[in-house]
């Protein structure tokens, strides 16, 4: 049994620890949870819930923030 | 020193129940560097600053979002849905933007054509209705069509944003008649968005009586963005003051300024 699973983060396949939470995923990517908004399989996960939601094989995760725009 | 705008009694710009000290709104895209952007925004005197929602770049070791450079306590951040071509996408981006936690305002764009970046007004109306239902204050980027502007107001938009000319074109106000018609018929603020190229464009636009202007490329693509931001600040104030002052009627024949009487024999 493998210790990692593949999820799709911002369009790219990435291995993460099995049963990792979204908060753990952010930490592994060295992202401050206060600085990003997380969408998990098209549903926004609010910051307080990031530690409760676990990822599963093939999940689509989008991590967004504000950039320059008009 | 008393400035023209203090001489003129003018109510502040109010959108969706919030009051803002400047009628000039600016974007944050396309600047050559962040320092220039910050100084240009400062020089513009803008209170409302637009930002876009995009993926975090995971390949860079130290990703810096716009908030690294702009203090959200100092500026009112207005997220846009730029780049969205369907109502569904625009709604998705708006929800993500709101979740970032600054405010419930969104500059709604649903683009219908890649080349001209003209709005898809059908998608725009659909997205506006959905977002208003969800409690958003929607500022809708639209074309200069009066009927669509009326529909957007009916849909509950907090402001209607007709274009001066296509995004990034710098062609100035192409259709002052239509923009005036919209302003005359719409109760919510009318903010002209996109197409202003230089200070005279901004001044002429404000002289139509609109409530404000949003610009980005005119500053970012100027040779000196900070100086242009200063010029735009003055132009917006001048145009607003001239509108409130009420211009003289146009005449096709001359009228002397000096008395016709008292001339020597």
> Which chain B residue's Cα is nearest to A40?
B96
Per-residue confidence in pLDDT tens, chain B, 265 aa: 555 556 778 999 999 999 999 999 999 999 999 999 999 999 999 999 999 999 998 887 555 788 888 888 999 999 999 999 999 999 999 999 999 878 999 999 999 999 999 999 999 999 999 999 999 999 999 999 999 999 999 999 999 999 999 999 999 999 999 999 999 999 999 999 999 999 999 999 999 999 999 999 999 999 999 999 999 999 999 999 999 999 999 999 999 999 999 999 9
- ipTM (interface predicted TM): 0.93
Instruction: Tell me if A12 and B58 make a contact (CB, 8 A cut-off).
Output: yes
Question: Domains of chain A: which residue ranges?
Answer: 4-64
CATH superfamily of B4-245: Aldolase class I (3.20.20.70)
pLDDT at B226: 98
> Which chain A residue's Cα is nearest to B61?
A30
A-chain residues near B51 (CB < 8 A): 66-69
Per-residue pLDDT for A50 more than 90?
yes
Reported as a single tens digit per residue, the pLDDT across A17-40 is 999 999 999 999 999 998 899 999
* A66/chain B closest Cα distance in angstroms: 5
Sign (positive or negative) of CA dihedral A38, A40, A44, A50: negative
- Geometric angle at alpha carbon B220, from B182 and B53, rounded to 5°: 75
B-chain residues near A63 (CB < 8 A): 55-56, 58
Distance CA B256, CA B229 (A): 38
Question: Domains of chain B: which residue ranges?
Answer: 4-245
Reported as a single tens digit per residue, the pLDDT across A34-48 is 889 999 999 999 999
Give bridge partners of residue B191 from the DSSP assignment: B212
**Of A36, A37, A46, A42, the residue nearest A59 (C-alpha):** A42
> Which chain A residue's Cα is nearest to B195?
A70
Three-state SS at A68? strand
Closest by Cβ to B66, choosing from A39, A64, A66: A66
> Does residue B107 carry a catalytic annotation?
yes
Instruction: Tell me if B97 and A66 make a contact (CB, 8 A cut-off).
Output: yes
Establish how many alpha carbons lie within 13 A of residue A12's alpha carbon, considering only the half-sphere containing its beta carbon.
Answer: 7
Three-state SS at A55? coil
B-chain residues near A64 (CB < 8 A): 53-56, 96
Per-residue pLDDT for A53 more than 70?
yes
CATH superfamily of A4-64: Beta-grasp domain (3.10.20.30)
* A3/chain B closest Cα distance in angstroms: 22
Distance CA B110, CA B117 (A): 9
Tell me which of B30, B73, B74, B107 is the catalytic residue.
Answer: B107
A-chain residues near B82 (CB < 8 A): 69-70
Q: Which long-range contacts (CB under 8 A, 24 or more apart) does B183-186 make?
A: B183/B208, B183/B209, B183/B210, B183/B211, B185/B146, B185/B149, B185/B150, B186/B149, B186/B150, B186/B153, B186/B160
């Amino acid at each position: 049994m493998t210790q990692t699973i593949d999820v799709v983060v911002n369009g790219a396949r990435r291995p993460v620890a099995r049963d990792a939470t979204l908060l753990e995923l952010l930490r592994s990517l060295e992202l401050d949870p206060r600085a990003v908004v997380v969408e998990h399989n098209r549903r926004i996960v609010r910051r307080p819930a990031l530690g409760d939601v676990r990822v599963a094989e093939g999940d689509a995760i989008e991590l967004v923030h504000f950039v320059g725009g008009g | 020193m008393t400035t023209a705008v203090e001489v003129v009694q003018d109510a502040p710009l109010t959108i969706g129940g919030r009051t803002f000290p400047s009628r000039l709104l600016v974007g944050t895209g396309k600047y050559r560097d962040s320092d220039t952007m910050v100084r240009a925004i400062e020089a513009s005197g803008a209170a409302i600053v637009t930002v876009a929602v995009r993926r975090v770049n995971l390949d860079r070791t130290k990703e810096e979002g716009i908030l690294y450079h702009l203090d959200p306590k100092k500026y009112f951040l207005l997220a846009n849905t730029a780049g969205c071509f369907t109502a569904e996408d625009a709604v998705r981006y708006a929800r993500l933007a709101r979740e970032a936690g600054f405010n419930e305002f969104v500059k709604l764009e649903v683009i219908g054509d890649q080349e001209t970046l003209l709005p898809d007004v059908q998608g725009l109306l659909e997205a506006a209705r959905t977002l208003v239902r969800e409690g958003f204050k929607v500022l809708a980027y639209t074309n200069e069509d009066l009927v669509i502007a009326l529909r957007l107001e009916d849909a509950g938009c907090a402001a209607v944003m007709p274009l001066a000319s296509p995004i990034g074109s710098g062609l100035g106000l192409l259709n002052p008649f239509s923009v005036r018609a919209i302003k005359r018929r719409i109760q919510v603020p009318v903010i002209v968005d996109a197409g202003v190229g230089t200070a005279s464009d901004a001044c002429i636009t404000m002289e139509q009586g609109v409530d404000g202007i949003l610009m980005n490329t005119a500053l970012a693509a100027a040779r000196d963005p900070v100086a242009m931001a200063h010029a735009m600040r003055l132009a917006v104030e001048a145009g607003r003051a001239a509108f409130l002052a009420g211009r003289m009627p146009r005449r096709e024949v001359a009228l002397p300024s000096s008395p016709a009487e008292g001339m020597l024999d």
